[in-house]
Structure 1
């Protein structure tokens, strides 16, 4: 069987694969073929171009089975990209389920621990109830209605009488065994939804987009809570096994007592001192920072002097030094930046740098924090004939954008968190 996989820059690669290949196997194949580093965040996405819907295909799903459910009129593509939020709820469940949206069975101790919440979600006998308001698109109409929804083990329900949970007031909305859940990637544009936080359920056999059950939340936290709870309800223990697979065989990994491996980017940021007879790791963070800044400045001083065709040195401009960096995205809009970060997962520290559309001479750092995407303007400053870049009105200055990004990867400074994972447009 041949499948075609696209990357963020719309280059594609055809792969010949066995019929029982899983999404994780396809990712492993592409990692090997392209010599990428495997940090366990690579994901296969299914994207419906016309309706602006997308979903991360779960690692255990059979890719040929997913493709066999595609319908001709809907242009559907497979994308290979990173999704840092894929298993984030196993590491930090408390931030995914706000108190006002979740209630536990009455016999449960009110103060549940980190692992207690997960064990309850993964248990086959109990299941926490998720509840709150959602906007639902009325079947066969263009209008949306705000209703009080409840998620139970048997499916998703809404109340016909305010926030009443009495069985006589609850009406069945849908269950998930024969439906896949998609996120709206285009906000209100295509669906005419009242907010930008849409998601929906599509039959995974027939019917295509005609039988969509469309919902939208009032904010990102609410959408993330509903979608995470529904994933856990649908896949249960299988999801936990997918998360644990890369760590299998590592000592001390007992269920729900995992110390996740440090990310590749964190492992690469080890400060070394090679000035003596023997190299040493610099443990003191203050010393490490000053060494890093000094090294960076020395490298730039050497790098900014190049020989011209006549053999005399010429000074290179720092203006375009960032163009070659994976985190820099030339001429993309605010909306495109938000979509890219959303697709890479709303984990604290996911970022990219782009040109500002409103002010051609400035740049913008787009950063995910607290399930929101924030934008910070990077302003060029001229002082004593030299050009600097700053995020904080000139208090901290950098000779180029690379230096700025490297600084905020080590220090949060004026930002809400450090820069951790960058959104890259990879080519296949």
Structure 2
């Protein structure tokens, strides 16, 4: 057996039993997760990831090919955390990217791959973190960590990771962006984002920020300018003349991080801190600590720094998952399905499309009523009577299993969870109210601010309903309420779009 750090494996007698399917038919020294049946596209990816692949011999015998493949695999064990600080160790190739690790955990945990899963670099001793871009080598990130520090990889959703490509005007306010080009007046979405991706244009981000002076505890406010060449501050008001601009940092050898405890850890004047950290190993004093007055301002600076550092690569990361998506093919058995009526003595095929639709709707409604009755039964059996106090609690089981419901989450914890998973319009969760028993709270993000809406029970003739608008719109359970506001804005500032979810690795 070879050590995991430098694993040498021989794939002998790799049999092509089917032109579209490859199966290992001989034992080799590999991790257990590799002993599966691969399709051709995955084998191509495997050859790309693993090093020094050499096909030594191929023999043509009827429809069977025997191929001897010599693979030198270098593997390393890494530990990945999620929101509740539980972790999982996985063995991965040394040239694996952040996207590959996200895909690995999506498959292992049977998650829906909505392209929002993200790997974060979290430096606990500095209380900072950043997005590890999808194309980045994870091992290069790990190599920059000091041995005596608590540094971690976190796997969680971040709906805002590429949202600036969809809604750039929400991320770059007019008063903070100036373009040195022939473009005059207001720009549309595509023009604004092109200025950052096009190296021939020179967009600028400018505005006031608080900066922590080197070797001091105090913060001072300066006028900053962000260009492709780096970050500068003006030592004379808002002047942009070259003689007044002082260089702060560039991004070829640095990354931008957000401060997780700006006030407590760094004494910042607000909670909206960020910093530029050199990729070279150095002391915490090398951090360029900055602080904005609000979340929108901080998001603008951090997003612009990511774009200036990676440029077109970020756009390729954004479109790559969408390019791989293909229209699913319906199977022969699926196409041969027909609507049947079994209500009489004999079964019959329903040929009328309208009749088939009405039957489907009726079946769906009856299923919901039946499942609702089952939940009522389970709830009444599971919840002790002494907790009722005359108030029906039969609704409890309906929403407990939903991914958007977080039972005992406090207001501050809800704020932190939504912030972690992306401050874009429509990110939401439901939770128990901490101040009013037997009620619930909808926490929703809109315009990069988190708002909380009370969901009140409404008792009408002995029946319990739930409402966000003082009983004008009532729902039998929280599932119906969420489904309604996913389709209709109603009294909310925006529709419910992305639910905050937690998984166990």
With the length of structure 1 as denominator, give the TM-score of the two structures: 0.85
Q: Does 1:277 align with 2:350?
A: yes
Q: Which residue of 2 aligns with 1:129?
A: 204
Q: How far apart are the structure 2 equivalents of 1:280 and 1:183?
A: 56
Q: Which residue of 2 aligns with 1:167?
A: 242
Q: How far apart are the structure 1 equivalents of 2:324 and 2:379?
A: 53
Moved more, 288-297 or 123-132: 288-297
Cα gap change, 1:385/1:200 in structure 2, threshold over 3 Å: closer, same or farther? same
SS of aligned partner of 1:66: helix
Among 403, 408, 419, the alignment partner of 1:342 is 419
Q: Does 1:371 align with 2:460?
A: no
Q: Does 1:242 align with 2:317?
A: yes
Q: How far apart are the structure 1 equivalents of 2:478 and 2:132?
A: 35
Q: Does 1:411 align with 2:411?
A: no
Q: How far apart are 1:150 and its partner, in Å? A: 0.5
Q: Which residue of 2 aligns with 1:304?
A: 376
TM alignment of 1:165-314, pairs within 5 A: 165-248=240-323, 277=350, 296=368, 299-306=371-378
State the structure with bigger RCO (CA 8 A, min sep 6), 1 or 2: 1
Query: Structure 2 unaligned runs (5+)?
Result: 1-75, 328-338, 342-348, 355-359, 382-391
Cα gap change, 1:86/1:335 in structure 2, threshold over 3 Å: closer, same or farther? same
Q: How far apart are 1:399 and its partner, in Å? A: 2.6
Query: How many residues were matched structurally?
Result: 397
Query: Structure 1 unaligned runs (5+)?
Result: 252-260, 262-272, 282-287, 310-314
Q: How far apart are the structure 1 equivalents of 2:114 and 2:462?
A: 43
Q: How far apart are the structure 1 equivalents of 2:340 and 2:173?
A: 48
With the length of structure 2 as denominator, give the TM-score of the two structures: 0.73
Among 375, 388, 391, the alignment partner of 2:465 is 388
Q: How far apart are the structure 2 equivalents of 1:274 and 1:98?
A: 57
Q: How far apart are the structure 1 equivalents of 2:231 and 2:312?
A: 20
Q: Which residue of 2 aligns with 1:21?
A: 96
Q: How far apart are the structure 1 equivalents of 2:277 and 2:463?
A: 56
The C-alpha deviation readout for 1:136-161, integer Å capped at 9, x for no partner, is 11112121111111001111111111
Q: Which residue of 2 aligns with 1:255?
A: none
Cα gap change, 1:54/1:291 in structure 2, threshold over 3 Å: closer, same or farther? farther
Q: How far apart are 1:413 and its partner, in Å? A: 1.1
Q: Which residue of 2 aligns with 1:49?
A: 124
Q: Is the 8 A contact 2:378 2:397 kept in 1?
A: no
Among 65, 69, 72, the alignment partner of 2:144 is 69
SS of aligned partner of 1:132: strand
Q: Is the 8 A contact 2:379 2:397 kept in 1?
A: no
**Cα RMSD (Å) of the superposition?**
2.9
SS of aligned partner of 2:296: helix
Q: Which residue of 1 aligns with 2:180?
A: 105
Q: Does 1:12 align with 2:87?
A: yes
Moved more, 199-208 or 17-26: 199-208
Q: How far apart are 1:424 and its partner, in Å? A: 0.9
Q: How far apart are the structure 1 equivalents of 2:352 and 2:141?
A: 52
Q: How far apart are the structure 1 equivalents of 2:340 and 2:151?
A: 52
